[in-house]
């Protein structure tokens, strides 16, 4: 693999797999003087931790994180922040269970593509590096970014907006409310009444042995105008990169997204107007991004999460060793949906990306010496 | 700007703006021994050239390309390929027209965000670097990638799948048919009957002074399994990055995309089976990508294109110099839709991305010495 | 080739070869609001231009540069700056001369390594991309960096310090004097009396049909403390990268360099002391860099330039097509030394590197919010 | 810091400081199917471990490494290899000793530059990230590269060539002999008689309270022709980058290096000739690199190592808190020379760099389809 590093200036590198010894993150580009402790990271990790409710995977991982470098007396020093989480629920019987089926493609999973790429050496245990467990590393880095962004007045939250065809209503809620409410239920949905329906529906789906997907929405306030680097590194492009790289994500849209393909120009264009001496826009079809650069409005991004591939229903498949058709039995250790747990991951990737752009832009701007009359 | 380079091994750098002297592309990582001439690039550029039909912008640009480096006797030498296209339709009266309205935000455009970022020095003429003219550079690089991919048996095409709510039917068409058909009409739609409807509809919209968006689909055959670099540089992530960076794109989805959020796991999972000694999948909800790595099935990607922002209807806006509300008059020099012209750009970005992954993977694989039993 | 881009934030990409159509540079990360015109670039290019004296190559290249993108009304816009220089002295008889000997390795040149790497498609004309002509692109980018650094009070100059065993004395000269003096003679040596000796010696060497190397020194004042990114991207590391990548450079040393290997610690350590409220150092064995970060003292870097490989003396060699030993006749179109012309290139690479670090550091620092009590 | 990652395809990221909890390395781009265990890494780490002889630092670090990710059943899986070494000799009394002098610049060290850059948050304990302890991370990654290179027939060794003015004679020794001999003595010098003199000299210097530097030579055999990416990423450039980034290195030269500045062209040019059907060179002034690309001859690189900055002699200095001149007392916990321990680090950086180039080149070449008649 060549792709375990993300970001140009705030740069995150991770390693670790489902049934390896540990998952680690090295966060480069962390400014000095930031007060930081294990608990700052832990609180974010706890949001994506499995085994917390009946709709999650029953895997028991405490996900205790230790910051082992980059600090002196509780403050960052400018050195890269190293963080490690040891895997604990990797008992031999589970390894054995995976070994027994290691040649069977689990439909919707990555066994086949990893085997094509890495041959017989591909890690077959619990999906190896393709497992959602790698997102521990993303969340840890995102927790560092979150603290730096907070000092800049930038708040980024993520929550379940849709579960299959059940749609939450978050209109009028602030970023803080969206987060606070979503933490009140196991599906991470800020609309509490709808959350109940989502949970109930997930229970039914689970009882059927099946799984369900949805849409996670990311909402950011306080993002200053000017972030994003044309042409290829527009913030829309790098956000899409980061979010689409999350396991199970199959689509990313910004603002009106695919809905804008159904609008006329006169309807889609956000009309600017002056308000309290600031340029604002009457609508936010742009999702806060024009020409790949933030415009000061709230960022609004949506990602499509496919239903968990692992189901408790037998499926036809192929044995990769014998190259024969085969049957895969129902699997019971699984998440009925990962939409809720994914919120922490989506927020983390967005935070990492926004901070990276903020730092690039500040460096670029610092040597220009120009006067900013707008948007600052 | 810090973002004018794309790719890790096949690496494309571009410059140039709407009313500058020229647009240039430097293509690094071009293997030696490739027969290449200006005409190879020109044929792709002609697909995105404006002024070719009544639904395009009337801007007259010949877009004549010259390869000025990287060749010896008609073959690539391994040196970076330099290509240049001079702007020709930049007459003073047009510059004057832009100067007259340079302080007015054109709703849906990037004037405001560029002005926030680059201050009064932001190029106000014809949208400067934010103009769709920069995509000339992408298409030129994509034409080089296309020739290399052809030797590997990889075909990548793009076409208009939806124009507003008019949906084309391309089922059963090969990649070659999709491309050949789409070249037969000015909207780049392979379903010829539907193309007629799309063109007629666009004419009506244009008559209203308005514009229309749609969905461009990218279809790739012959992509070997194994491309994509976990974790962050999954091919899904880098494709999303490249495609979302195209002007006017607001969404990217792979395979079933957002539709997969409405499926149960048992429905969404693509079931593998053996066919003629190869592993194949009964459905392609994955769009040819599992765990961020290609699985040998056709790639299927869809991008949401918003309606062109420039409309022939007066709009409210803001004057960035006086910070007062203002009116923007109807603009007549515009595309009624850019969906058709965007196809060449979307195909180019996909080709660049796939080739970059192919080269990374080959380098990685060459030192592994492992045996590939599957997928090769 | 995969290596035609340099820098992380101020990012330079070049293309073009000895006998191609043109050489181009794309400079990304140029801040907006910089007054810039062709003449700013031309003045630097003229310093490395061949054919200006009897000790240079007789090749006649006017090296006229055109900035074709990134400007609006004479100021940078933030868009990448594109620059192009057309080759003019590429007449068929010269191409023919190169074609006649294209299979013969010119000792000390790169024909063999390029042929190994790129096969028969390697550009055989005038050394292709391996020619010193590519340094036009570096100098063009360095000229942009120079203007930005000037606003920051940073001056970087390069000059010939040694020609074979003839050593110049520059002690006590300011950066400005070093540059001004070096421009007064064709060998770019600030010590005018020694310059005479160097030129006379080079004439003798030339009369023998031979060539001569030397040491170019780079001297920088006004560099603020704090530039350089530990661990791998120390400014010492990236400077060494950039400078060692210049054709004919075989060594790089900083401060006392190799001489420090002959010192005791008590002699090598630069002792700090307070002067006018600032921390200064009594000696500068460090060359202005401690722990890979600038310390506020002048930067002092030296590079070893080997004698020009092309000589007017017949040499034994190998025919790469027949794989037989062969003779290479004396070649007359050549530089007796390239030390003088290299000064512009060395200064350019140092400027590019220092500016890139300045921008990275500013971006990093801007989000730290810490107070700097020292060195600012 | 933004610079803790090195390499484009074989990509190494490290973290950890002198008195932090642990040092970690994430090695990306490790091909699958490589048999690898802790002992493979440990054997290299042991070569740079302190406290092994009287001329080393007395710091007692066991440097026990654990590979915690990237393996399955003893073979690499293609996932990034994560390695960790916990610091053990970080007892409170040592921390206290550092705290007592944290405001005093240790001459030759990086306290001042780190304080300028990171303010009062710079890690003052044992030099923090600026300490040579970070090289543990480099050596760990280099050990992985070494195993991959071994399969390609590439051997890279490093040894002390000069200690102050005492020069070893290694002529005629194979790479294997150079390494085997250097492991026989505590100064890592393959010339055993000279090693005795070096050790004796170092003992005397140490008795004086002083320290000594030298020259470490890197020697590589089996490197195929064709590695190196023009223009900026010549292998000479990236090697210089990697080696100059090692703490205490102040110079890098390739082949004849600075000596070539004293040669005439007719003397410096390496004359090619045919030998056993292969192109070889009669001399190796190039150090195996022509035009920035390997030519198939042995690589020969030399780095200048300054004397250890920490000495047991009182020195004048500055108090960074009070901004007053001050005295620094003699320090006893130190290396009399680090030349010996640096050999493992220099070999590691060279291995990492060569492997990265090998992988880039293989990826590039794999899509060219050209025939290589030379050098393969």
Residue C51 has pLDDT above 70, yes or no: no
Residue A196 has pLDDT above 80, yes or no: yes
- Identify the CATH number of the domain in which residue D245 sits: 3.60.150.10
Q: What are the percentages of helix, strand and coil residues in chain D, rounded to 5?
A: 35, 25, 40
B227 DSSP 8-state letter: -
Residue A181 has pLDDT above 90, yes or no: yes
For residue D229, which phi and psi values (nearest 5 degrees)? Answer: -120, 100
Chain D residue closest in CA terms to C288: D113
Give the model's pLDDT for residue C124: 94
Give the model's pLDDT for residue B373: 84
For residue A196, which phi and psi values (nearest 5 degrees)? Answer: -55, -45
Residue A376 has pLDDT above 60, yes or no: no
CB contact under 8 A, D268 and C306: yes
For residue C148, which residues of chain A lie inside 8 Å, CB to CB?
A: 367
Give the model's pLDDT for residue D25: 98
For residue A286, which residues of chain B lie inside 8 Å, CB to CB?
A: 108
pLDDT category at D61 given cuts 50, 70, 90 is confident
Average model confidence (pLDDT) across chain A: 95
For residue D297, which residues of chain C lie inside 8 Å, CB to CB?
A: none
C277-304 pLDDT per residue, tens: 999 999 999 999 999 999 999 999 999 9
pLDDT category at D137 given cuts 50, 70, 90 is very high
Mean pLDDT of A24-51: 94
Burial B342-376 (b: 16+ CB within 10 A, else e): bbbbbbbbbbbbbbbbbbbbbbbbbbbebebebbe
How many structural domains comprise chain A?
1
Residue D372 maps to a domain: no
Give the model's pLDDT for residue D89: 78
Query: Rounded to whole angstroms, how far apart are CA atoms C237 and C241?
Result: 6
pLDDT category at C2 given cuts 50, 70, 90 is confident
D174-217 pLDDT per residue, tens: 999 999 999 999 999 999 999 999 999 999 999 999 999 999 99
Chain C: partners with 3+ C-beta pairs within 8 Å: A, B, D
pLDDT category at D375 given cuts 50, 70, 90 is confident
Mean pLDDT of D84-112: 92
Chain A: partners with 3+ C-beta pairs within 8 Å: B, C, D
Helix (H) / strand (E) containing C301: strand C299-305
Instruction: Find, among B216, B158, B227, B222, the residue nearest to B8 by Cα.
Output: B227
Residue B212 maps to a domain: yes
CB contact under 8 A, C125 and B13: no
Nearest chain C CA: its distance from D73 CA (Å): 32
Nearest chain B CA: its distance from D269 CA (Å): 25
Chain B interface disruption, residue of C33, C77, C362, most B CBs within 10 A? C77
Residue B136 maps to a domain: yes
CB contact under 8 A, A164 and B262: yes
C189-200 pLDDT per residue, tens: 999 999 999 999
Per-residue pLDDT of chain B (376 residues; tens, 9 = 90+): 889 999 999 999 999 999 999 999 999 999 999 999 999 999 999 998 876 777 777 777 889 999 999 999 999 999 999 999 999 877 888 899 899 999 999 999 999 999 999 999 999 999 999 999 999 999 999 999 999 999 999 999 999 999 999 999 999 999 999 999 999 999 999 999 999 999 999 999 999 999 999 999 999 999 999 999 999 999 999 999 999 999 999 999 999 999 999 999 999 999 999 999 999 999 999 999 999 999 999 999 999 999 999 999 999 999 999 999 999 998 877 889 999 999 999 999 999 999 999 999 988 888 887 888 887 5
Nearest CB to A359: which of C33, C151, C364? C364
pLDDT category at A49 given cuts 50, 70, 90 is confident
D238 burial via Cβ count (<10 Å: 0-12, 13-18, 19+): buried
Dig out the tokens for B146 from the structure. 């296309």
Give the model's pLDDT for residue B284: 98
Enumerate the β-bridge partners of residue A251: A304, B253
CB contact under 8 A, B232 and A3: yes
Dig out the tokens for C281 from the structure. 């150092």
Nearest chain D CA: its distance from B367 CA (Å): 7
Instruction: Find, among D161, D256, D238, D166, the residue nearest to D202 by Cα.
Output: D166
Give the model's pLDDT for residue D336: 93
Chain C residue closest in CA terms to B22: C68
Instruction: Find, among B287, B275, B250, B331, the residue nearest to B57 by Cα.
Output: B331
CB contact under 8 A, C121 and B15: no
D297 DSSP 8-state letter: S
CB contact under 8 A, A268 and B306: yes
Residue D376 has pLDDT above 70, yes or no: no
pLDDT category at C52 given cuts 50, 70, 90 is confident
Residue D42 has pLDDT above 60, yes or no: yes
Query: Rounded to whole angstroms, how far apart are CA atoms D212 and D311?
Result: 10
Mean pLDDT of C22-27: 98
CB contact under 8 A, C229 and D305: no
Give the model's pLDDT for residue D160: 98
Residue A40 maps to a domain: yes
Average model confidence (pLDDT) across chain D: 95
Residue A376 maps to a domain: no
Nearest CB to A370: which of C8, C33, C368? C33
Chain A interface disruption, residue of B28, B216, B217, B265, most A CBs within 10 A? B265
How does strand B293-294 pair with strand B299-305? unpaired
A228-285 pLDDT per residue, tens: 999 999 999 999 999 999 999 999 999 999 999 999 999 999 999 999 999 999 999 9
Nearest chain D CA: its distance from C280 CA (Å): 9
pLDDT category at D52 given cuts 50, 70, 90 is confident
Query: Rounded to whole angstroms, how far apart are CA atoms B279 and C347?
Result: 58
CB atoms within 10 A of CB B70: 31
B93-116 pLDDT per residue, tens: 889 989 999 999 999 999 999 999
Chain B residue closest in CA terms to A234: B245
Residues contacting residue C150 through CB under 8 Å, at least 6 positions apart: none
pLDDT category at D93 given cuts 50, 70, 90 is confident
What is the residue-wise DSSP string for C183-252?
TTSTT--SSHHHHHHHHHHHHHHHHTT--B-EEEEEEEESPPTT--BTBTB-HHHHHHHHHHTSTTEEEE
Residue C185 maps to a domain: yes
Range of the domain at C184: 5-366
Residue B376 maps to a domain: no
For residue A359, which phi and psi values (nearest 5 degrees)? Answer: -70, -40
């Amino acid at each position: 693999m060549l792709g375990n590093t993300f970001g140009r200036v705030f740069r995150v590198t991770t390693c670790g797999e489902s049934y390896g010894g540990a998952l680690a993150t090295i966060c480069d580009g962390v400014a000095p003087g930031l007060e930081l402790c294990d608990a700052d990271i832990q609180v974010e990790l706890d949001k994506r931790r499995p085994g917390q409710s009946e709709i999650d995977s029953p895997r028991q991982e405490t996900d205790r994180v230790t910051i082992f470098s980059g600090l002196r007396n509780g403050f960052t020093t400018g050195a890269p922040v190293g963080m490690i989480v040891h895997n604990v629920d990797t008992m031999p019987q589970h390894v054995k269970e995976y070994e027994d089926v290691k040649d069977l493609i689990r439909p919707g999973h990555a066994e086949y593509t990893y085997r094509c790429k890495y041959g017989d050496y591909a890690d077959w245990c619990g999906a190896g590096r393709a497992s959602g467990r790698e997102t521990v590393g993303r969340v840890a880095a995102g927790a560092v970014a979150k603290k730096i962004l907070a000092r800049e007045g930038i708040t980024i939250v993520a929550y379940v907006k849709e579960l299959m065809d059940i749609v939450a209503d978050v209109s009028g809620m602030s970023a803080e409310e969206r987060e606070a409410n979503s933490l009140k239920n196991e599906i991470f949905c800020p609309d509490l009444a709808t959350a109940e329906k989502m949970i109930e529906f997930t229970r039914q789906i689970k009882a059927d042995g099946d799984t369900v997907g949805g849409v996670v929405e990311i909402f950011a306030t306080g993002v200053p105008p000017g972030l994003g680097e044309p042409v290829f590194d527009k913030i829309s492009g790098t956000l899409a990169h980061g979010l689409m790289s999350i396991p199970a994500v199959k689509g990313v849209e910004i603002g009106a997204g695919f809905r804008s393909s159904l609008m006329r120009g006169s309807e889609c264009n956000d009309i600017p107007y002056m308000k309290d001496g600031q340029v604002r826009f009457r609508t936010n079809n742009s999702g806060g991004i024009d020409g790949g650069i933030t415009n000061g409005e709230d960022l609004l991004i949506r990602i499509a999460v496919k239903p968990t591939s692992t189901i408790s229903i037998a499926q036809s498949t192929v044995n990769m060793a014998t190259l024969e058709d085969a049957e895969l039995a129902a699997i019971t250790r699984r998440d009925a949906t990962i939409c809720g747990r994914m919120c922490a991951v989506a927020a983390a990737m967005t935070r990492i990306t926004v901070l990276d752009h903020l730092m690039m832009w500040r460096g670029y701007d610092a040597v220009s010496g120009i006067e900013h009359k707008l948007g600052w």
